[in-house]
Amino acid sequence: MAVERVHRTTHEVTVAAPAGVVYGLISDAVRWPLFFPPNVHVEQLEFDGDSERLRMWAVANDEVRSWTSRRLLDPGRRRVEFRQELPARPVQSMGGTWIVDALGADRSRLTLLHEFTVADDDADDVAWVRRATDTNSRAELDNLRRLAERWGRLDELVLSFEDSVRVNGPAELVYDFLYRIGDWPELVPHVSRLDFTEDEPGVQVMSMDTRTADGGTHTTESVRVCFPHAGRIVYKQTATPLLMSAHTGEWSVVPDETGVTVSSQHSVVLREENITRVLGEDADVARARRYVREALGRNSTATLELAKRHAESAVTVL
C-alpha cells in the first residue's frame, strides 16, 4: 500500500499594522467571505472559546469547493492551527497554521503554513492542490495586508445593513421565488440578463446584468449557497461594481404565527480609490456609503416586494 507524501507550502507577508489587528482578522473566520477574495461562505458549527468547527465554501482554481475544518485559536501566541476534517477532493488531508509575529508596535509578519496529501500522490492532483493553495494564499494575504493597514478606518469602509418585508403567504413560495434565479430576467425588472449553473445542488454560480437608476447597466458575478430547510440563501459577489472591493449578502425567509418576514442583508467593503472616479471629485466615503446603501437597498427591496407579490398572489388564486 502506497504511503502518500506530505506536501508543504509557506506564504508570508509583512504588514504595516499591529500584530493584534492582524490576528483579529484571521481569527474571525465567519467574516472571511467579506475580507478574503476566495472565501464564499463560512458557517460556525461549534465554538468553545479556544476551538471551533467550521463549514467553509471557497473558490479554488475557478471551482466552488466545500469542506469542514477544526481550528484551535491561541490569541496569546497569536497562532491559529487548522485541520480539515472532511476535505474536498482531491485533497486527502489538509492542515496548517496562521502565525502572526510582532515586528514592532505597528508592524508585523503574517505566515501561513499548509501541509497536505492527495490519494496515491497523483502528480496532477498534487499540482492542482498546489496551484489552488498558492493562488488563494496569495490573494488572502494580500487583501488582509491592505485591510489591516487601514485598520483605523475600517469601520468607515465596511457597511452592513438589512431590509425586510412582511408577507401574508407561504414561506415556501417566498423562498422558491428567491431560489429560481433563472426566472429573474422575466420577473425582476432591474435584472436584464442572468446566466447560472448549479452543478452541485444548492450551489449556484451566476453572472448578472443589473440596470442602474441612471439607465446604465453593470455586471456582477456571484456564488450562492442555498439552505432550503433553513430558509436561507447566502452569496458572495466574485466580481463587484467599481465602488465595492467586496460584497456578501443573505436572503432569509422566517415564518411566524402571523406570516413571514423575508429579509435581505448586505455587507460591503468600499473600494476607496474609486470613489471620486464613480461619484465625482467632491465625493467622500460618507457619500459613497449613502450611495451604496441606497442602490443595493433599492434593488433588494424591489426583489423582496416581488417575492411577496408572488406568494400572496398564489394564496389569492387558491
What tens digit of pLDDT does each residue of 89-102 get? 899 999 999 999 99
| Whether residue 315 has pLDDT greater than 70 | no
Exposed / middle / buried, residue 187 (Cβ in 10 Å: 0-12, 13-18, 19+): middle
| pTM attached to this predicted model | 0.94
Give the 3-state DSSP-derived string for 179-242, with helices as H, strands as E and coil as C. HCHHHHHHHCCCEEEEEEEEEECCEEEEEEEEECCCCCEEEEEEEEEEEHHHCEEEEEEEECCC
What tens digit of pLDDT does each residue of 239-283 get? 999 999 999 999 999 999 999 999 999 999 999 999 999 999 999
pLDDT of residue 50: 93
pLDDT of residue 61: 96
Q: Give Cα separations from 86 to 54, 120, 153, 250 (angstroms).
A: 10, 18, 37, 25
pLDDT of residue 217: 85
pLDDT of residue 3: 64
pLDDT of residue 318: 47
Rg (alpha carbons) of the chain, rounded to whole number = 21
pLDDT of residue 77: 97
* Percent of the chain at pLDDT exceeding 70: 98
Tell me the pLDDT band of 4, cut-offs 50, 70 and 90: confident
pLDDT of residue 1: 43
> Considering only 49-53, 114-118, 200-204, 208-212, which range has the smallest mean pLDDT?
208-212
Tell me the pLDDT band of 2, cut-offs 50, 70 and 90: low
pLDDT of residue 317: 47
| Whether residue 132 has pLDDT greater than 50 | yes
Tell me the pLDDT band of 316, cut-offs 50, 70 and 90: low
Tell me the pLDDT band of 55, cut-offs 50, 70 and 90: very high
Mean pLDDT of the chain: 95
| Whether residue 128 has pLDDT greater than 80 | yes
Which of these, 134, 135, 126, 136, lies nearest to 57 by C-alpha position? 136
Taken in order 35, 36, 37, 42, the sign of the CA dihedral is negative
Strands of the sheet containing 91-104, edge to edge, are: 7-15, 107-118, 91-104, 79-86, 63-74, 51-60, 39-47
| Whether residue 292 has pLDDT greater than 90 | yes
| Whether residue 311 has pLDDT greater than 80 | yes
